[in-house]
Amino acid sequence: MTDVTALPFDMPSVEESRPTVTFDLSALVHNWQAVRSFAGGAETGAVVKADAYGCGAGPVGRVLIQAGCRTFFVANPAEGAALRPHVGDAAIYIFAGLSATTLTTYAQADLRPILNSPAELELWKAKGGALAPIGLFIDTGMTRLGFSAEEVRVLAGSNTALAGLGPMMVMSHLACADNFSDPKNEQQLNLFSELSSLLPAHSRSLANSDGILLGAPYHFDLVRPGLALYGGSDALTAQLGLEPVAYLHAPILQVHEAPKNTCIGYGATYKVARDSRIAVVGLGYADGFRRGMSNAGIGWLAGREVPVAGRVSMDLTTFDVTDVAPEKAQAGDWIELLGSHLSVDRVGKLGGTLGYEVLTSLGARYTKRYVIDGNLVSGDEL
C-alpha cells in the first residue's frame, strides 16, 4: 500500500499509468499570508508568470484574490489576458511585451504595462492608456530589462517626458538576493533609492521572494514574491515557515527481481551490486522529470528514500527499491517525487537545476488536481 499518512490529502487508486500532480491551495494561501506578515506594512503582490510557476495561474489567482491579494505580475500580455477572468478587477502588471501589436490586448484585458525603455514610454504616451496606471522598470545592475541609470536621469531632467502619464510604480529587480551577504544587494538598493526618487513614483517595488528576506529597507511599497508562494527555496521555507504546494506522485508499473550484476536501463549505466528489486515507474523526461535525474534522483516510498537506478527514459524511470519491504513496493503503489519529503529545492539540486525549473517543468501529461483543506476542488470552479 502507498504510504500516504504524511499527505494533507488522499491519493486516488492508480487506475491509469499517469503521474499525478496535486496542488495544495491551502498551502499556497498560507505561504502568501506568511510573506505578507513578514513584509509588514508593504503591500504583498503575487508573481503568477509561467502559469503560476506551473501551478496554474487561474486557480492560484482565484484563491489569492479571496485571500486579499490585489496586485499580480505576469511575463507577457497573453498571460495577462488569460489571467484577467480569474482575478476580477485586481491590477495585472506585465513585465515585458509592450508593442504596437499588443496595445489592444492591454486595453481589452485592462493590463498595466511595465515600461522598460524610452521607446516603450513613447509608444505608451502616443497610443497607450492615457492616465491608466503603469510600471516603470529600472535596471540597477542586472543587465536585463529596464531603463539604464543614465536614461532615468535624462527622463527626470526633462520637463515633458513624463507629462500625461498615469500613476507610476517604479520597480527594479535584485540580481543576488539569494546570497544575503552579497554586497551587490546594498549597491542595488542604494541605486534604486536614488534613481526612483528622481521620478514621480506613485509607489516603489524592489523585492522578489529572496529580496523580502533582506529586510524592511528592501520592501518599499510593494513586494513581489513568486517562488515563496509555491513552496520556495529551503532558505525561504525555513525563514517564513512555508508549506509545499506541489506534490508529484507516479505509479509503480512493474517490479523486477534483479540478481546481483543485473544492468538497468539505456546505456546499462547502473549495475546492481547485490540481489535487488527494481521498480519501473510511469514518468520520464517527457513529463519534466529531468534526464539529469539519471542515477541521481530520489523518490519517497513507504517512509524512505529510494534512488533512481539507471537513466531516466522518456516515459519511464527505474528506482532501486531493495530496501523497502516487498509488500510496500508493488505495481499500483504511488511513489512520491515532490512534496513534503522532497522539496522543490532539493529535487532541483538532485537534477542539477533549481526549484524554479522543477516547478515550471511540471509536465503536460500529468493528471492535475487541486485541494483545499484536504478536499478535492475543481480548478475551474473555485
Ligand X SMILES: *Cc1c(COP(=O)(O)O)cnc(C)c1O
Which CB, 222 or 278, lies closer to ligand X? 222
Q: Which of 84, 112, 224, 249 binds ligand X (CB under 6 A)?
A: 224
Residue selected from 25, 35, 47, 111 as contacting ligand X according to rule CB under 6 A:
47
Q: Of 53, 266, 349, 370, which residue is the catalytic one?
A: 266
Strand partners, 2: none
Instruction: Identify which range of 118-126, 221-229, 285-293, 366-374 contacts ligand X by CB under 6 A.
Output: 221-229
Q: State the Cα–Cα distance between residues 232 and 83, nearest whole angstrom.
A: 22
Stretches 149-157, 202-210, 293-301, 319-327: which one binds ligand X (CB under 6 A)? 202-210
The contacts of residue 119 (CB under 8 Å, 6+ apart) are none
Residue nearer to ligand X on the CB measure, 96 or 165 = 96
226 forms part of the interface with ligand X (CB under 6 A): yes
Q: Interface with ligand X by CB under 6 A: which range of 3-11, 59-67, 117-125, 218-226?
A: 218-226
Binder among 22, 140, 185, 208 for ligand X (CB under 6 A): 208
127 labelled catalytic: no
Position 72 contacts ligand X (CB under 6 A): no
Q: If we measure between CA atoms, which residue out of 4, 11, 64 comes closest to residue 230? A: 64
Give the nearest distance from C-beta 185 to ligand X in angstroms: 14
Size, binding site for ligand X by CB under 6 A:
12
- Tell me: does residue 225 bind ligand X (CB under 6 A): yes
Q: Are the C-beta atoms of 62 and 86 separated by less than 8 Å? A: yes
Nearest approach, Cβ of residue 71 and ligand X (Å): 12
Cell readout for 86 is 480569474
Q: How far is the CB of 240 from ligand X (least distance, A)?
A: 12
49 among known catalytic residues? yes
Among 49, 53, 270, 366, which one carries the catalytic annotation? 49
Other C-beta atoms closer than 10 Å to the C-beta of 222 total 22
Q: Based on CB atoms, which residue is closest to ligand X, 207 or 278? A: 207
Taking the complex as a whole, how short is the minimal distance between the CB of residue 226 and ligand X, in angstroms?
3
What does the alpha-carbon distance between residue 73 and residue 265 come to, in Å, rounded to a whole number? 43
- Smallest distance, ligand X to C-beta of residue 214, A: 12
Q: Build a one-symbol-per-residue string for 88-107: x at contacts with ligand X by CB under 6 A, - elsewhere.
A: -------x------------
Contacting positions for ligand X (CB under 6 A): 47, 49, 95, 173, 208-210, 224-228
Catalytic residues: 49, 266
